[in-house]
Chain A
Amino acid sequence: MSEFEASANPQTGHTEILTLDPSLKTRLEARRVTVMYGQKAGVKDVDMPIYTHKVTALIGPSGCGKTTFLRALNRMHDLTPSARVTGEVLLDGVNVYAPGVDPVEVRRKIGMVFQKPNPFPTLSIYGNVVAGLRLVGIRKKSLLDEAVERALTQAALWDEVKDRLHAPSMSLSGGQQQRLCIARALAVEPEVLLMDEPTSALDPISTQSIEDLLTELKNHVTIVIVTHNMQQAGRVSDFTGFFLNGDLVEFGPTNLLFTTPKDKRTEAYITGRFG
């Protein structure tokens, strides 16, 4: 991450860092994203770039809007009748909220992993991984087999399950189930992977294995991870956004945000004065 060291100046905003590192590309960009639950705003006017093949962490205290913002990125709020999203989310320059854009297509390109592992209990390990592929009409066994091995390998689960691919998915441990869900999301080769506190229901060893995984995974896919654990954000992410009361207070390279926060509230949060 030396490319950011050059700009370790408290006065420097992230836009300037962009100019310092021309290799950085924007995969996803939120513009003035607001999510309303009835009359109450979940997040307000958030602008944030998500850089290609980087891990972006969203941190903040409970109820600050980080998960709400994450779910706005792949149109999951469409499923909640009371939620309304305004603003734009550009995926490779195309607004996913534009009229005529199919939310089903959006979610195929922007995958998601949830807080609690949610494998489909009636399907086998294999069946879970290929669920998304079958939805797009892939039936050929050789293709499916190939995708299963690739996705499970990427999710660091292959060695543990390769001899029992057709065992029920519920026979796995919690950590394995979460990696299975990651493999399920990766199998459809999304461009972006959204992770909503993916380790909050897991023990420390499983958490460790998923964190290790992220560093490897970002070579294939752009990752946005919500976490309430600042240490985790520090360990795994390249960029961090700090949310408070529905506002994006500060966004920047993780090492800068944690060492030289520009906002008093960010400083208070990362030094543990609240949250």
Chain B
Amino acid sequence: MQQAPVQPSRIKRPPSALYRLLGDRIFFAVILLLALSIVALTLGLGYYLYLGGSQTIQKEGFWGFLTGTTWDPALKLEFGIWPYVVGTLITSMAALFLSVPVALAAAIFAAEYAPRWLAGFINYLVDLMAAVPSVVYGIWGIFVLAPFLRQVLYLPVFLWASENAPWLAPYLGNPSGYGMFTAVVVLSSMIIPFTAALSRDVIQLVPAAQREGAYALGATRWEVMQMVILPYARGGIFAGAMLALGRALGETMAVAMVIGNGNILPYTLFGPASTMPAVIALELKEAVEDLHYSAIIGVGFYLFLIAFIVNAVASYLLHKLKVGEQRA
């Protein structure tokens, strides 16, 4: 085949130095602006939450507002958010502990053991679970889970305790079906997909060379899993759990629908409680007093702080856990 002669006219002149310089500058300015807008948005959010809540925070004191155990918007206008802080942390942590083993098992099964069609089906369901709106989980909690738990768990235990161990009664709470434990179960089902999807992805990303190295030493499938795959993937699994925790801390609707919305410091998993997002959602529309209104925004500010601290700790731990190719 004859080679076509090179036509100089068709070759573009290289862009001028000025054009290249400006192009770089403009691109840099644009991405800098967009990146800074995230910083500004975050700082601005924190600042305005503080500003909105400052009236009550100043009245109760920074620590007093956090650690006060009375939330009384009606008579005394006294605001302490500790019951909600505790409710938020306990429900989130408990949901995390309940969901991680299930999520991890699903991820390991889908990534390593299941035949391809079954793995695909499981992965599809996991992704679907993440896409279901939280209010739907709340409805499921109200109409299915709460009556079910009441029937098979709360009521039998309550009846048994009132006969045989009356001293247990206060810890069991009212056998209504609504309470912290129901919220924990709903919440843990909601956050399973976050840990499961991320764990599955990092398990699949463990290099084949790592697996083969272990198999070649005479490891069984389970030994390869614990010797190589889980240690290699631990950073990603942890990140998945943290994502789930973040989601649990901020979850509002589903929790508000089933937790029973008590405003005292919870002393048992089986009684009513409330969480910070739930109290914001439920009381904001009803706040008439300035102080109450400001207190609710203050709850938002402290929730922001908690999320900030959890994220900071998580990213520090993630850095520690990361398996890098880099030389030490």
Contacting pair A107 B209 (CB below 8 A): no
Shortest distance in angstroms between B318's beta carbon and chain A's nearest beta carbon?
Answer: 15
- Among A205-240, those with CB < 8 Å from B are none
Cβ–Cβ contact B217 & A131, under 8 A: yes
List of B residues within 8 angstroms of A116 by Cβ: 209
Within the complex, the shortest CB–CB distance from B202 to chain A, in Å, comes to 13
Q: Does B323 contact A (CB under 8 A)?
A: yes
CA distance A185 to B218 in the complex (A): 10
Total chain A interface residues with beta-carbon distance under 8 A = 29
Which residues of the other chain, B, contact A74 by a CB distance below 8 angstroms? 216
Cβ of A167 within 8 Å of any chain B Cβ, yes or no, is yes
Contact indicator per residue, chain B 173-194, by CB within 8 Å of chain A (1) or not (0): 0000000000000000000000
What string of 1s and 0s marks CB contacts (under 8 Å) between B222-248 and chain A? 010001100110100000000000000
Tell me if B328 and A167 are in contact (CB < 8 A).
yes
Q: A87 interface residue, CB < 8 Å from B?
A: no
From B209, B215, B220, B324, name the one whose CB has the most chain A CB atoms within 10 angstroms. B215
A92 and B232 CA atoms in complex are apart in Å by 36
Contact present for B215 and A111 (CB under 8 Å) = no
* Distance, CA A121 to CA B327, complexed state (A): 10
Q: What residues on B are CB-neighbors of A181 within 8 Å?
A: 213
Contact partners of B219 in chain A: CB under 8 A: 104, 135
Q: Does B72 sit at the interface, judged by CB under 8 A?
A: no
Instruction: Decide yes or no whether B207 CB sits under 8 A from chain A.
Output: yes
Q: How many whole Å from B101's CB to the nearest CB in chain A?
A: 21
Smallest CB separation, A82 vs chain B (Å):
12
Q: Does A54 contact B (CB under 8 A)?
A: no
**Cα distance A184–B212 when bound, in Å?**
13
Contact A135 B223 (CB under 8 A): yes
List chain A residues, Cβ under 8 A from B223. 135
Query: In the complex, A108 Cα to B217 Cα: how many Å?
Result: 6
Q: How far is the CB of A85 from the nearest CB of chain B, in Å?
A: 15
Are A122 and B231 in contact (CB-based, < 8 A)?
yes
Are B217 and A122 in contact (CB-based, < 8 A)? no
Query: Which B residues lie within 8 Å of A120 (CB)?
Result: 210, 213-214, 227-228, 231-232
Q: B227, A131: Cβ atoms under 8 Å? A: yes
Nearest chain B CB to A48's CB is how many angstroms away? 20
Cα–Cα distance between A132 and B209 once the two chains are bound (Å): 16
Partner of A135, one of B213, B217, B327: B217
Interface residue from A114, A119, A170, A184 paired with B327 (Cβ < 8 Å): A170
Question: Contacts of B212 on A, CB cut-off 8 Å?
Answer: 76, 79, 112, 114, 118
Are A111 and B217 CB-contacts (below 8 A) given A120-B210, A120-B227?
A: yes
**A124 smallest CB distance to B (angstroms):** 11
Q: Are B217 and A170 in contact (CB under 8 A)?
A: no
| B163 contacts A by Cβ under 8 Å | no
Given A108-B218, A131-B217, A185-B216, the answer on whether A118 and B209 have CB atoms closer than 8 Å is yes
| B164 part of interface (Cβ distance < 8 Å) | no
Specify which chain A residues have a CB less than 8 angstroms from the CB of B327 in the assembled complex: 170-171
Distance A79 CA – B212 CA, assembled complex (angstroms):
9
Enumerate chain B residues within 8 angstroms of A6, measured Cβ to Cβ: none
Neighbouring A residues of B211 by C-beta, 8 Å:
79
Name the residue of chain A whose CB is nearest to the CB of B328. Answer: A171
A157 at the interface (CB under 8 A from B): no
Q: How far is the CA of A105 from the CA of B223 in the complex (A)?
A: 14
| Contacting residue for B216 out of A76, A105, A170, CB 8 A | A76
Q: Can you add 20 more A-B contacts, CB < 8 Å, to A108-B217, A112-B216, A170-B324?
A: A76-B215, A79-B211, A104-B218, A107-B217, A107-B218, A114-B212, A114-B213, A114-B216, A118-B207, A118-B209, A119-B213, A120-B228, A120-B231, A122-B231, A122-B232, A131-B214, A132-B218, A135-B219, A168-B328, A188-B217
Enumerate chain B interface residues (CB-CB to A < 8 A). 207, 209-220, 223, 227-228, 231-232, 234, 323-328
Interchain Cβ contacts under 8 Å between A and B, 22 examples: A74-B216, A76-B215, A107-B216, A108-B217, A108-B218, A111-B217, A114-B213, A118-B207, A118-B209, A118-B212, A118-B213, A120-B227, A121-B232, A121-B325, A122-B232, A122-B323, A131-B217, A132-B218, A170-B328, A184-B213, A184-B217, A188-B217
> Would you list the 8 A-B pairs with minimal beta carbon distance, nearest first?
A108-B218, A112-B216, A122-B231, A132-B217, A171-B328, A118-B209, A118-B213, A107-B218
